């Protein structure tokens, strides 16, 4: 897989992730800064490193599963796995300018 193909696949994955919203905040999880990294290997397997707004987040059980399932709907993807981390822990500083504007922080 070339770097261009990896970039195109990464862009498609991010597009899908941007359709998933935090149920408590009307902003998608990508713009919220919950996605730390997306890895794609030669077998078209995807690993997503993400966090939650807090360890006690009410969607801690369902949100990672939703991310995996939606990413797996891309025909180019063989498999997807989400790993949750709290290092570094999420803060409002991780939100995009768009998210901060949407939520009135700017």
Domains of the chain, residue spans = 3-92
Report, at the CATH architecture level, how domain 3-92 is classified.
2-Layer Sandwich (3.30)
Adjacent-strand bridge partners of 28: 21
Residue-wise pLDDT for 9-62, tens only, equals: 999 999 999 999 988 888 999 999 999 999 999 899 999 999 998 888 888 889
What Cα–Cα distance (Å) separates residue 77 from each residue in 18, 22, 40, 103?
Answer: 17, 24, 9, 33
Beta strand pairing status for 45-50 and 35-40? antiparallel
What ranges in the chain are assigned the alpha helix state H? 3-17, 63-72, 97-102
Q: What is the pTM of this model?
A: 0.91
């Amino acid at each position: 897989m070339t770097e261009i193909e990896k970039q195109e696949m990464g862009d498609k994955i991010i597009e899908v992730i941007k359709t998933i919203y935090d149920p408590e905040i009307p902003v998608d999880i990508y713009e919220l800064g919950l996605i730390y990294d997306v890895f794609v290997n030669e077998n078209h397997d995807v690993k997503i490193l993400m966090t939650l707004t807090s360890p006690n987040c009410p969607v801690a059980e369902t949100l990672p599963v939703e991310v995996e399932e939606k990413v797996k709907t891309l025909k180019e993807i063989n498999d997807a796995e989400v790993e949750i981390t709290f290092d570094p822990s999420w803060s409002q500083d991780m939100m995009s300018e768009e998210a901060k504007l949407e939520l009135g922080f700017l």
